[in-house]
A and B are shown apart, each in its own frame.
Chain A
Amino acid sequence: MSAIEATGLTKRFGTVQALAGVDLSAAEGTVLGVLGPNGAGKTTAVRILCTILQADEGSAFVAGVDVARHPQRVRELIGLAGQYAAVDENLTGRENLRMVGMLTHMGRRAARTRAAELLERFELTDAGDRPARTYSGGMRRRLDLAAALVHRPPVLFLDEPTTGLDPSSRTGLWGVVEDLVADGTTVLLTTQYLEEADRLADRVVVIDRGSVIAQGTPGELKRTLGATIIEFTIPEPAEAARARSALAAVPGTVDGEDGLVRLAVTDGGAALMDAVRALDAAGVRPAAAAVREPTLDDVFLALTGHAVETPAEEVAA
């Protein structure tokens, strides 16, 4: 059964079409990655699925329950954590968790036990009785995630959970998500990072300007693009043109702009050797060379022909 199933979601804020007919689907116990730049509509989609916002059109079911018709029941089945780390700064970590426990009607004693359990699990026990305003960014984010898990929701929504986190906190959070999924939780994760979607998601949906522009497994998405990007810096235009025609013989996609020749390939190591040989044979000497993973910018450039823009803020109602 699909744990998340949305069909044809649309939402308009004034003149801004935040969602223009989005379909999303996640099987139980899997991670759906929703990838897109700021303002793509990711947060709007999450807010609709979490019953915070009503869609203009379309339908959405979470754990089989219609979010528009039975929002209160959906709320019993979901947890929401996000980039804003919505914890009460003046309450201690423990009090924050107890508050959520009480508000999900689990009873005073169970709320207390669950709070202690989560503090332990998220390595916040020592800080548990300090006001959350004294926490570091990473600790705050962990507390936010813990708060989303208090009532053991089978479906979890993580809205850009690692945006602004340092690399080690990010890796730690990924580990937590993996553990949750191993226990059967379904996760919808929005992110701007291809790497994050790659690491966690079973399926990825790419959203741009309120529409789905690509979807598939992370592997499929990368194959459409090439798993590795090889870039040569060649300032001299004539030489760059020569490089481009030489590289056409290497399996992959060649593009580039102002002194940059870019080759997207699926088979990084071998292609790099071929590329270097081809350039050498053509007598091209690049000023610099780089091999890197494709970024979200590359995905966007490949899929939409435009680079990631950060136009309007993700519109909040």
Chain B
Amino acid sequence: MSTQAMSARAVIPPSPGTVERVRNAVSDALVITWRNLLTIRRLPQLLVFATIQPLLFVLMFRYVFGGAIQVPGVDYVNYLMPGIFAQTVAFGAINTGVGLAEDRGKGLIERLRSLPMARSAVLAGRTTADLTRNVLVVGLMLAVGFAVGFRVQTDVFKLALGIVVLLAFGFALSWVFALIGLSVANAESAQAASFPIMLPLVFASSAFVSTTTMPDWLTPFAEHQPVTAAVDAVRALVLGGPWGTEVLTTLAWSAGIVAVFAPLAIRRYRLG
């Protein structure tokens, strides 16, 4: 029997309409989100580990280096904590890639790729679950901040807006690491490939010290990169002062990162 004849006779199910496709894509992403959140519930130690590193940074910068760092007109702990929050979501985004690389290594992605689910769902579900995890981690870090003397100088609404901006920024970064996680051989490589990207972004930023203290050749980078934008936005919101431009810049960075990296990551997923 020729294959042409066969395909002509075959009963091909009707192609779903756009509305149904979008509904399925959302539902699939929610199923994967549920699955990833279950993992966090089953292994709460993951959440604890996620907060240990930023916690150590808080203690180190608050009590070890803090005395040596002078920021005019502001208590260093109040200056520091917005940087810590941004650092937390930035490093947290690496987990997105590590988790995906792990799923791939275990053959789970292979199974999911053989299912009639939306191609975007595995990634959207992962980044959404990581966003939810970030809510918990940022909450914990906020508590840590209050414990070491951090005080919001504005009001609770501005603090809330700051957290929303941070979460949006973390969600955007997740897509960068999703692409990396799908491109490397295993979870260890995902981790190893991600740190060299994240480290300079976090440390050559305004997170811990003012960018004006950096050498001339570094300042242009430090002042015009996304982590600095996020830190400055949150800092303006919790310490007071003009914040509109800073918030918009961060949201623009976030939107831009998603616009570039989400299609790349989904394409990578499609290709296997």
Residues of A at under 8 Å CB distance from B?
A: 1-2, 5, 7, 47, 50-53, 59, 61, 63-66, 70, 72-73, 75-76, 78-80, 82, 84-91, 95, 99-100, 102-105, 131, 147, 317
Contacts and interface: CB of A to CB of B under 8 A. Distances in A.
Interface of B: 1, 3, 6-7, 9-13, 15, 24, 27-28, 31-32, 34-35, 38-39, 42-43, 106-108, 110-117, 121, 271-272
A64 B108 contact: no
Contacts of B9: 1, 64
A64 B107 contact: no
A88 B6 contact: no
A14 to B, nearest CB: 15
Contact of B31 (A52, A85, A103, A317): A103
Instruction: List the 4 closest A-B pairs by CB distance, nearest first.
Output: A64-B10, A84-B107, A86-B107, A75-B116
A85 B107 CA distance: 7
Nearest to B110: A86
A73 B28 CA distance: 16
19 contacts: A1-B1, A51-B113, A61-B10, A64-B6, A65-B7, A70-B12, A72-B116, A84-B106, A84-B107, A84-B110, A86-B108, A88-B35, A88-B39, A90-B38, A99-B34, A100-B111, A104-B117, A105-B116, A131-B42
Contacts of A105: 24, 27, 116
Contacts of B32: 103
A61 B12 CA distance: 12
B272 A89 contact: no
Contacts of A2: 1, 6
Contacts of A76: 13, 116
A71 to B, nearest CB: 9
B7 A64 contact: yes
A88 B104 CA distance: 11
Contacts of A78: 114
Contacts of B24: 105
A312 B111 CA distance: 23
A89 to B, nearest CB: 7
A52 B272 contact: yes
Contacts of A64: 6-7, 9-12
Nearest to A157: B114
A86 B31 contact: no
B189 to A, nearest CB: 15
B3 A7 contact: yes
Nearest to B109: A86
Given A1-B9, A86-B110, A147-B111, 17 more contacts: A5-B6, A52-B272, A61-B3, A73-B12, A73-B13, A75-B115, A76-B116, A78-B114, A80-B114, A84-B107, A88-B39, A88-B108, A95-B38, A100-B111, A102-B27, A102-B31, A105-B24
Contact of A59 (B3, B13, B39): B3
Contacts of A95: 35, 38
Nearest to A76: B116
A131 B31 CA distance: 18
